[in-house]
Structure 1
Amino acid sequence: MQVHHLCQAMSEIAPLRLAEDWDNVGLLLGHRSAPAARVMTCLTVTSAVVSEAEDENVDLIIAHHPLPFKPMGKINTDSAAGELVWRLCRAGTALYSAHTAYDSAVGGINDQWCEALGLSGGKPLIPQTTSHPIEARTVKEGGTGEETAAIGAGRFGDLPEARPASEILAAAAEFSGATRPRMVGDPHRPIRRIGVACGSGGSFVGAARRVGCDLLLTGEATFHTCLEAENTSLSLALVGHYASERFAMESLARRLQTLPDSLKPKARMANEAGLEVWASRREHDVIAVDPVSQNP
């Protein structure tokens, strides 16, 4: 197995054409022909993640958040990002990121949220503007069916019947493992149409209102965005940036463990040694729930 086989697999799961113009996606570090038998997914490349990669002889990290995110004029250990890149180079570990392409892809993070919440008729909050509607195949984990759907940023869909906002927040927290979910708006308000924007989704407030959402679920939003939502009667469910996306790194690892059918003939000779994919076991949410009570 080589790095380019995994890059091609990721391009089928999350086509890079779906990424936002400002994003930094694709193979960010490494040689495409390098071996890639040991692959690790993670949300963010941190010191703990790099240490795990060093200890476990990881060939390729597939991170959701790109490193670097912004252009780097120098790569040295004077900056946190520079030190991480330097350590990866020294270890010979390649790095790939799909970021907003995986957010927006059919079967990507926002689609997984829609499925978890039981939403029907999922559509993009902000459709990708092209001369022709973009369609992509959906292959659910463990499933065999296929369907097509328009592509774009965020998602919205409807519940079978209205539920209190507090129940939506509780269900979202249980699914994502969020330890400190928060809400803007009346917790007893009946919710039928829900918008979803993983990560920092405050910029989707206007789009959610335009399509008639009662509630927008996201990771985090600024104080003034929360005020805007409250003033326009849009409820917000905030599960935390980490919780809103980290679960999808687990499902991505499971999906990559079995290469897409279209890649199997090409990778058969390179896959004699096997492929091992796992989500980082050391990654954690850096925002502590209650650091005072956790002190000995």
Structure 2
Amino acid sequence: MGKTKVSDIIGLMEEWAPKKFAYDWDPVGLQIGRPDAEISSVLVTLDVTEEVVNEAEEKGAGLIIAHHPPIFSPMKSVRTDTVQGRLVEACLRRGISVFAAHTNLDVAPGGVNDMLAEQLGIKETSVLTETYVEPLYKLAVYTPHDSVEKVREALGKAGAGAIGDYVNCTYEIEGTGRFTPSGGADPYIGEVGKPEAVEETKIEVVLTASIRSRVERAMIKAHPYEEPAYDFFVLDQRLEEYGIGRIGRLERPMTLDEFAKHVKERLDVPALRIVDGGCAEIRTVAVLGGSGGKYAADAAARGADAFVTGDMDYHTAQDTAALGLSVIDPGHHIERIMVGGVAGHLRKAAAERGLDCTFEESEIITEPFRFV
């Protein structure tokens, strides 16, 4: 078994929460260190502080995976007499790399917002606000009958034809292909200079834009023709919706006060703030980790009775109540749920890939507020 590298763990994270899911202002990815550094342990944390870096060193972690990027705005200098400069220096001196998965992990299926929804017992969830649309293509390729299964298998292995819970989905039409090999050709069927007619099958398969190049290469490699005939068509429909926040239903209706106590207990917070939107019964709930005030109108439009999110400001709270939407604000720190969630996901994914690495959950509480 070879040594595990930082890039191996980044690969696991980006398969789950690819950068394309992140907002364009969000500096996700490897922020400190080098991808080829060898590691044996990873520390997962919500925030990166000097205390967390000390913890990583004590636990022998060569990589920190954080939700909140420690370098959020571009640094014009690395001065070690500043908080941010000292943090970067501490990581570099100790050979600790730092990788951030922020809004991409919020959007990713199974990510932060799904973790929060599950913890609160919200069922039948869907995306609250769409933020990313994966372009969808249809590939049509023409192949002789005796090569259909070989080409179909190659397309499926490359990821084409995956629709919901189904894989290797194709549609096939039989017809006649006509061509004349010209000088210099090395035809699989026919002779140079002679018109040829071949009974062929048109294979149609859908695929996402992110795998188009891979599917095209696999198809050409598996195809028997020197110059296969094929077309890509852009489709209007989508295979999957990606976005920020989740909305769903509680197993049973609650009053606002009952639901607030439920949130407080399930998210283990010492206090929370409540905005009463006047709804007598809470059944449909939207949740968005972090600062979700600007999505309150979306939650109301989707029919939510209550919206669980952090950092709600005074005027947004007033406007939200006027929409008839109640708010439960348990703070930004509830996103710490990602520590156990990410560590658990990576343990499983690393074991499946045969990576020799352990994953530690940070014990440092980075909540800056104290409640009295």
- Specify the alignment match of 1:179 in structure 2: 270
Alignment partners' CA distance in 2, 1:196 and 1:5: 32
Contact 2:45/2:362 (8 A) holds in 1: yes
Alignment partners' CA distance in 2, 1:136 and 1:90: 48
Contact 1:42/1:283 (8 A) holds in 2: no
- Specify the alignment match of 2:212 in structure 1: none
Do residues 73 (structure 1) and 54 (structure 2) align? no
- Cα displacement (A) at 1:103: 0.8
Do residues 44 (structure 1) and 47 (structure 2) align? yes
Alignment partners' CA distance in 1, 2:255 and 2:365: 33
Contact 2:41/2:61 (8 A) holds in 1: yes
- Cα displacement (A) at 1:203: 1.1
Alignment partners' CA distance in 2, 1:169 and 1:241: 16
Larger Cα-atom Rg: 2
Match 1:159 to one of 238, 244, 250: 250
Structure 1 window deviating more from structure 2 (118-127 vs 28-37): it is 118-127
Cα deviations by residue, 1:168-214 (Å, 9 ceiling, x for unpaired)? 22222222211111211068831121111101111111111111111
RMSD: 2.4
Do residues 14 (structure 1) and 14 (structure 2) align? no
Structure 1 window deviating more from structure 2 (159-168 vs 39-48): it is 159-168
Structure 2 counterpart of 1:39, one-letter code: V
Change in Cα spacing, 1:82 to 1:187, as seen in structure 2 (3 Å) is farther
Query: Secondary structure of 1:179's match?
Result: coil
Of all paired residues, the percent bearing the same amino acid is: 31
Relative to the length of structure 1, the TM-score reads 0.85
Do residues 253 (structure 1) and 343 (structure 2) align? yes
- Specify the alignment match of 2:139 in structure 1: none
Unaligned runs of 5+ in 2: 137-161, 166-238
- Specify the alignment match of 2:368 in structure 1: 286
Contact 1:62/1:95 (8 A) holds in 2: yes
Contact 1:118/1:159 (8 A) holds in 2: yes
Unaligned runs of 5+ in 1: 139-147, 291-296
Change in Cα spacing, 1:174 to 1:187, as seen in structure 2 (3 Å) is farther
Alignment partners' CA distance in 2, 1:234 and 1:212: 9
Change in Cα spacing, 1:130 to 1:254, as seen in structure 2 (3 Å) is closer
Change in Cα spacing, 1:51 to 1:184, as seen in structure 2 (3 Å) is same
Relative to the length of structure 2, the TM-score reads 0.68
Structure 2 counterpart of 1:92, one-letter code: G
- Specify the alignment match of 2:111 in structure 1: 108
Change in Cα spacing, 1:136 to 1:13, as seen in structure 2 (3 Å) is farther
- Number of aligned residue pairs: give it: 272
- Cα displacement (A) at 1:227: 1.2
- Map of 1:268-279 to 2, 5 A cutoff? 268=354, 271=355, 274-279=356-361
Alignment partners' CA distance in 2, 1:59 and 1:136: 39
